[in-house]
Amino acid sequence: MAPILKLSVLSFLTIGVLVAVAARISTVHRILALQKTANHQLEDALIEAITGPLSDKWIIILMDTITDSKFDLQKVLFDVHDSVNQPLFLLSSQPGWEQQLPPPSVLKGRCAVVLIISSWPSWLEDAGDEWSPGILFVIRLNSSVFTRSLLNIPQIQRAPALALTELSYEKSIPQVYTSFPLQRDENGQRLVKNLIGSWNDRDFNTKQELFPNRFESFGGEVLHVASDLDDYPLIYENEDGLDGTNIRILNTLGDWLNFTYTTTIHAEDEMWGEFVNGSWNGLLGEVYRGEKNITVNYFTVVYERTKDFDLTSSYFYEGFGFALKIPPPLPAWMSLLYPFSLWVWISIVGLLLIIAPVLYFLTLAAPSDTASNVSLLDAVMEVFRILVRIFK
């Protein structure tokens, strides 16, 4: 009896293990099927984005090395081939990928970057300061990469226009997020991850809908300004505190965008901002190192600064030139001489010497009572008047 009982227990255990394995396999197959469906939906979302709101931009598709096996990029390229007239570039996160990027001015102005990732994109740090996309569309394929942490990456936050899409297994449709790093929710948490809506080409058919203004309000943020208060008339101290053109601009912007600010008397090294020995010093150095948010003093626009800093539109212009003594006015007779070149005067004199005698003799030969009163000088002056048209 005991052997039979043991055999029954063993059979039940075996059946239980087989059922568990079968359930596990079924779950894996179901997850794989869901992932495949999810990737197809994300591929369709990318196609609709490229042919819709991003159709006027140069497209740079940047993906990590794992993405090739999960994302059918060939299908995307085939479907957008006939609909897009702008250039499309493909980059992979292999060593040296950052050297293939276009210049920062082109990357920021003419391009839209599509970032497709399946793992943590630590390789984005390789781009350094050359990484400055104006529009960044992130597609997250792997659920193990947390969206909030991903949106917190400085290289991703650097894009003024930012959107991220991923598949929600609960809704079985891609969800679209953006980030408002300067705004907070009711609990005081920053809105690093903010849902815009579920993907469809009707709700996201313009850039304004897909990439909402992330900095419409600063949410009461305190900005730290690197400043030098000895910069009249832009920033200076008076009896009432701070004043100057730039201070008034800051106050107006603060009221409009909802922020306050702090200032400094001068930079720690009391320098303005120069690129020395491979690094920035002074006020610009504090901004470059992230110690301050902005600087608003008098800075001329030079090429070195445009490479490392975002500059506003110029609102103050100053000209430099040489000063010379104004010469005395020319003599009156030169007003006749200067309007004509040397060759014109030679032509006039030549014509006078030829035409004036001819005209004089023709006048004498004419059957007229006044012919005898015409002199050679009269003929010369008549020809000269006709040529120069000043003696009338």
| Domain range summary for the chain, segments of one domain joined by + | 30-210, 221-308, 334-388
CA–CA distance, 49 with 43 (Å, rounded to integer): 10
**pTM of the predicted model, to two decimals?**
0.69
Question: pLDDT tens digit string along 7-64?
Answer: 565 555 566 555 555 555 544 444 444 455 567 889 999 999 999 999 999 999 999 8
Predicted pLDDT of residue 244: 95
The DSSP element (H or E) to which 136 belongs, if any, is: strand 135-140
| pLDDT at residue 230, rounded to an integer | 94
- Of 242, 223, 221, nearest to 232 (Cα)? 242
Per DSSP, the three-state class of 41 is: helix
Which residues lie closer than 8 Å to 55 by C-beta, 6 or more apart?
A: 83, 84, 86
- pLDDT at position 145: 75
Burial of 107 (0-12, 13-18, 19+ CB in 10 A): buried
Structure tokens at 347: 């032509």
Helix (H) or strand (E) holding 135: strand 135-140
pLDDT in the model for residue 392: 41
- Check residue 28 and give its pLDDT: 40
Integer Cα distance of 109 and 221 in angstroms: 28
- CB under 8 Å to 97, separation ≥6 — which residues? 62, 91, 123, 126
* Weakly modelled stretches of the chain, pLDDT under 50: 1, 26-34, 391-392
Residue 330 has a pLDDT of 76
Range 221-308 classified under CATH 3.40.50.1970: no
Q: Contact, 210 vs 49, CB < 8 A?
A: yes
CATH class of 30-210: alpha beta
Instruction: Provide the pLDDT for residue 31.
Output: 42
pLDDT score, position 24:
55
Closest by alpha carbon to 76, among 48, 112, 109, 115? 48
The tokens describing 373, both together, are 């009163």
Q: What are phi and psi of 33, to 5 degrees?
A: -65, -40
Are 201 and 48 a contacting pair, CB within 8 Å? yes
What is the C-alpha to C-alpha distance for residues 14 and 121, in angstroms, rounded to an integer? 44
- Residue 73 is predicted with a pLDDT of 87
Residue 370 is predicted with a pLDDT of 57
Task: List the structure tokens of 197.
Answer: 């809506």
For residue 261, the tally of other CB atoms under 10 A from its CB is 18
Predicted local confidence at residue 349, as pLDDT = 82
β-strand partners of 136: 113, 162
Alpha carbons 118 and 141: distance in angstroms, whole number:
5
116 φ/ψ angles, rounded to the nearest 5 degrees: -110, 120
Tens-digit pLDDT profile for residues 329-377: 878 777 777 777 888 888 878 877 888 888 778 777 776 665 556 777 7
Distance between CA atoms of 278 and 61, rounded to whole angstroms? 32
